[in-house]
Amino acid sequence: MSSDSVTTPTNFIRNIIIRDLETGKHDQIVTRFPPEPNGHLHIGHAKSICLNFGVAAEFGGRTNLRFDDTNPLKENEDFMLAIMEDVRWLGFEWDGLFHASDYFQQLYDYAVHLIRTGKAYIEELTAEEIRAYRGTLTEPGQNSPFRDRPAEESLDLFKRMKAGEFEDGTLALRAKIDMASPNINMRDPVVYRIRNASHHRTGNEWHIYPMYDWAHGISDAIEGITHSLCTLEFEDHRPLYEWFLENIPAPSMPRQIEFSRGNLDYTVMSKRRLRELVEDGRVSGWDDPRMPTLAGLRRRGFTPEAIRAFWADMGISKADSIISMSVLENAVRNDLNVRAPRTMAVLDPLKVVLTNYPEGETEWLDAPVHPQNEEMGTRQVALTREIWIEREDFMENPPGKYFRLKPGGEVRLRNAFIVQCNEVIKNDQGEVEELRCTFDPETRSGMPGASRKVKGTIHWVSAVHGKPVEIRLCDRLFTVPNPLGEKGRDYREFLNPHSLDVICNAIVEPAVAEGTAGDFYQFERTGYFCHDNVDSKPGKPVLNRIVTLRDSWARIEKEIAQGKR
RNA sequence: UGGGGGAUCGUCUAGUGGUAGGACUGCGGACUCUGACUCCGCCAGCGGGGGUUCGAAUCCCUCUCCCCCAGCCA
């Protein structure tokens, strides 16, 4: 309704929190972001980060970063460090930094409590047997023969498990709940398993490690988390989350609330698939600029501001969704349009000689850094007799709507003057090799004659001052919107062969070649580009295309090609 | 033929009994020394069927479709 007022978009979780504050259920809200350090964060995680940190900040609460490091086989320090870097880069700072492994002793003590109260037992069935006893989706499970063993016996076994007396997989601690429950999670879930493995934080201290369901809820309770926000697949686990906390002397009672993941089209968004792409060498790493990982997006040149704005726009709900990539692209264009310095760069150079311009002369022209923001100042652009223009800005036999250079035609050189094409020089293969043009000195930018109108304006770079750079044209990783949704086909079949096209000899204004990692620009009429934070080196600049500019000519051109115009 | 969730323009999302709104996309136009930006306009939706009501996206019944769960993963 309110179109002219900027309000924080609401969602069902925010509404719950507002109510909890109003009713006095909580004085302060506490959330947490709980990644498992077994891979890199992706833009879907950013949704959760923005939600958890955002909603706590809005209501003066706190947010912890807690690593869910209960599986030493898959987790490590490197992932942990990378995750912290990603969260900070996104623009958030945690109040407390914790690890589930910080609570291993308490988790153990609570398990002892559960055994003592007759609500857990040591299982001797093998994993396969447990599966067989569990029943199916439509048939109830059967009680384990070890289910009713004396608590003392279980306690003794549990202590010996902890002491490292048993091999992996031989015993397990199970909660005694209900083998006939229609919710399979309640059919005596495993609470602890034996893993004689070294943990990246606790070393060889433990031989048993808690399962997610046990560790997560209790960790939340220990930290006084008020709202434990997670994704939809944990909805079935909520009864278990609550059962555990109700059956131990829990220090607090957090509430788990589920929301839907945020998927994007033309990519994949699970750590498992992303890991496969990395390990199969389909991409150069977790930070490949085509990856939807935060490391990849950062390297590509996406800004944290754009990603935050994107998720703020998207909102939170419980409906499964695959968001159109165009929405993300819009968010980054909106952000970069305001902030990116403008510059001219020629991606596919075609030489132009200005025949009436003196040889050997260089003239420095003033050009605005940003046409809508004078405060960003001006830059000097070198003009010489020989310049490069974009090959696609010249056509020998153009269609009617073509506003760029053509034989005998006129066009404005951005920030300079109007030129006319007099001669087209071709090589033996008949390819256009060079254009001979004359310029009209009266039409120089800033002079009275500059008001003369021509249809088109094109960008250019001095052939003597321009610097060569490598440019990586990043595009969508897959050729279909939902690579995982193509029945009977492997998603890798749909990898886009042109997701990363490399241009070795693009020409840029000298200042761009001097840029350093992370510097971004708008190449006028082309798109937004950013110095690659890994491969761009002094003397050997490499820039990634973050996103193209919107291009209405491309649509017209396509329609012409299809004979619609 | 178990349990848990979800269906609102092409996409995402508001709306919780009183004219279905926004963003993105698309289309048309204005402006333009970026075919960008900006501005204006347009197209487009309550999964189906019943019921309650003066009035239903919203309440009730029913049907359909989609997602998740049978790890000693998270």
Q: ipTM for the complex?
A: 0.96
Catalytic residue among A32, A36, A390, A406: A36
pLDDT digits (tens, 9 = 90+) for A387-417: 999 999 999 999 989 999 999 999 999 999 9
Q: Is the CB of A11 under 7 A from strand B?
A: yes
Whether A2 has a pLDDT exceeding 60, the answer reads: no
Q: Is the CB of A234 under 7 A from strand B?
A: yes
The chain-wide mean pLDDT, for chain A, equals: 96
Whether A1 has a pLDDT exceeding 60, the answer reads: no
Whether A8 has a pLDDT exceeding 80, the answer reads: no
Strand B close residues, chain A 205-224, CB < 7 angstroms? 209, 211-213, 215-216
Q: Return the closest nucleotide (C1') to the Cα of A525.
A: B34
Q: Is the CB of A236 under 7 A from strand B?
A: yes
Going by C-alpha positions, the residue among A513, A508, A540 that lies closest to residue A524 is A508
pLDDT confidence bin for A7, thresholds 50/70/90: low
Q: Is the CB of A380 under 7 A from strand B?
A: no
Q: Return the closest nucleotide (C1') to the Cα of A326.
A: B24
With pLDDT > 90 as the criterion, what percentage of chain A qualifies? 94
Looking at residues A39-45, what average pLDDT do you find?
A: 98
A176 is catalytic: no
Helix (H) or strand (E) holding A530: strand A527-531
Q: Return the closest nucleotide (C1') to the Cα of A317.
A: B13
Q: Hey, what amino acid is at A291?
A: M
Looking at residues A458-469, what average pLDDT do you find?
A: 98
pLDDT digits (tens, 9 = 90+) for A350-360: 999 999 999 99
The pLDDT score that the predictor gives to residue A446 is 87
Q: Is the CB of A275 under 7 A from strand B?
A: no
Q: From the CA of A320, how many Å to the C1' of B20?
A: 22
The pLDDT score that the predictor gives to residue A161 is 98
Q: From the CA of A175, how many Å to the C1' of B25?
A: 51
pLDDT confidence bin for A565, thresholds 50/70/90: low
Q: Return the closest nucleotide (C1') to the Cα of A417.
A: B33
Q: Is the CB of A9 under 7 A from strand B?
A: yes
With pLDDT > 70 as the criterion, what percentage of chain A qualifies? 98
pLDDT confidence bin for A28, thresholds 50/70/90: very high
The pLDDT score that the predictor gives to residue A229 is 98
Catalytic residue among A271, A385, A444, A472: A271
Q: Is the CB of A30 under 7 A from strand B?
A: no
CA atoms of A219 and A234, how far apart (whole Å): 16
A242 is catalytic: no
The pLDDT score that the predictor gives to residue A560 is 85
The pLDDT score that the predictor gives to residue A176 is 98
The pLDDT score that the predictor gives to residue A564 is 62
The pLDDT score that the predictor gives to residue A5 is 35
pLDDT digits (tens, 9 = 90+) for A183-241: 999 999 999 999 999 999 999 999 999 999 999 999 999 999 999 999 999 999 999 99
Q: Return the closest nucleotide (C1') to the Cα of A191.
A: B72
Residue entry with tokens 């009209």: A440
A297-301, A405-409, A448-452, A525-529: least confidently modelled range: A448-452
**Residues ≥6 apart with Cβ < 8 Å to A429:** none
Q: Is the CB of A334 under 7 A from strand B?
A: yes
Catalytic residue among A261, A275, A379, A492: A261
pLDDT digits (tens, 9 = 90+) for A109-148: 999 999 999 999 999 999 999 999 999 999 999 999 999 9
The pLDDT score that the predictor gives to residue A217 is 98
The pLDDT score that the predictor gives to residue A3 is 29
The pLDDT score that the predictor gives to residue A4 is 30
A42-46, A497-501, A557-561: least confidently modelled range: A557-561
Tokens of A438: 């004359």
CA atoms of A298 and A168, how far apart (whole Å): 40
Q: Is the CB of A272 under 7 A from strand B?
A: no
**For chain A, first and last CA: distance in Å?**
40
Q: Return the closest nucleotide (C1') to the Cα of A322.
A: B11
Are A434 and A352 within 8 A, CB to CB?
yes
CA atoms of A20 and A26, how far apart (whole Å): 6
Whether A40 has a pLDDT exceeding 50, the answer reads: yes
Strand B close residues, chain A 171-200, CB < 7 angstroms? 171-172, 182-185, 189-190, 193-194
CA atoms of A396 and A405, how far apart (whole Å): 8
**Residues ≥6 apart with Cβ < 8 Å to A190:** A123, A130, A172, A173, A174, A211
pLDDT digits (tens, 9 = 90+) for A70-98: 999 999 999 999 999 999 999 999 999 99
Strand B bases with any atom < 7 A from protein Cβ: 1-8, 10-16, 21-27, 33-38, 66-74
Q: From the CA of A182, how many Å to the C1' of B60?
A: 27
A271 is catalytic: yes
